[in-house]
Amino acid sequence: QQELFSVLKAYSVLNPKVGYFQAQAPVAAFLLMHMPAVQAFWCLVSISDKYLSGYYNPGLEVLQRDGDILHALLRRTAPAVHRHLVKHKVEPVLYATEWFLCALTRTLPWDSLLRVWDCFLCEGVKVLFKAALVILAGALGPAKVRKRACGLCETLEVLRHPP
């Protein structure tokens, strides 16, 4: 916990425009599981600057834009899932915010997360979009699941606990 605090505090000092952003904690914690604090700090800086640039800025405009992009991609790749979300007024900001801000660290099972992060670090943020599309198709792809998720709250509950 002390190392996590140190990494996040150092980031907030380095980047006072962003300061402390709660969603960085799972990312920093994930990094600390794989490397010492100094390396985790510099990795967090690089990831925040290169891959998640703008995600932690006040206003979250970049996150909103990426949610809209995800929604458009979903319309092309999984039209039935897209129609379900539109029908129940489930906006991307309601389910994808945590996915993107935390780079899926709080969403995926450990083995899947490790593989996604391998790809994420090599290929960039497009991997988060690909993983999000797989999560959506896996969680809401089956017609019987969509039928059970008959409203906004039920749909969000399915997306909070993807298969």
DSSP secondary structure letters along 98-129:
HHHHTTTTTTS-HHHHHHHHHHHHHH-THHHH
Q: How many other β-carbons are positioned within 10 Å of the β-carbon of residue 128?
A: 22
> Which pLDDT does position 160 carry in this prediction?
92
Dihedral sign, CA of 29, 27, 103, 97? positive
89-118 pLDDT, tens per residue? 999 999 999 999 999 999 999 999 999 999
What does the buried/exposed string (b/e) look like for 73-112 if buried means 16 or more CB atoms within 10 Å of the residue's CB? bbeeebeebbebbeebebebeebbbbbbbbbbbbbbeeee
Residue 88 DSSP SS3: coil
**Model confidence pTM above 0.95:** no
Q: What is the mean pLDDT of residues 52-73?
A: 93
> Which pLDDT does position 25 carry in this prediction?
97
> Which pLDDT does position 85 carry in this prediction?
98
Residue 142 scores a pLDDT above 90 = yes
Q: What is the mean pLDDT of residues 126-132?
A: 98
Q: What is the mean pLDDT of residues 20-26?
A: 93
Residue 162 scores a pLDDT above 90 = no
Q: Which fold has domain 61-160?
A: Cyclin A; domain 1 (1.10.472)
CATH of the domain spanning 2-51, picked from 1.10.8.270, 2.60.40.10, 1.10.1420.10, 3.50.50.60: 1.10.8.270
Are 134 and 104 a contacting pair, CB within 8 Å?
Answer: no
Tell me phi and psi for residue 154, to 5 degrees: -65, -40
| Extents of the domains making up the chain | 2-51, 61-160
> Which pLDDT does position 46 carry in this prediction?
96
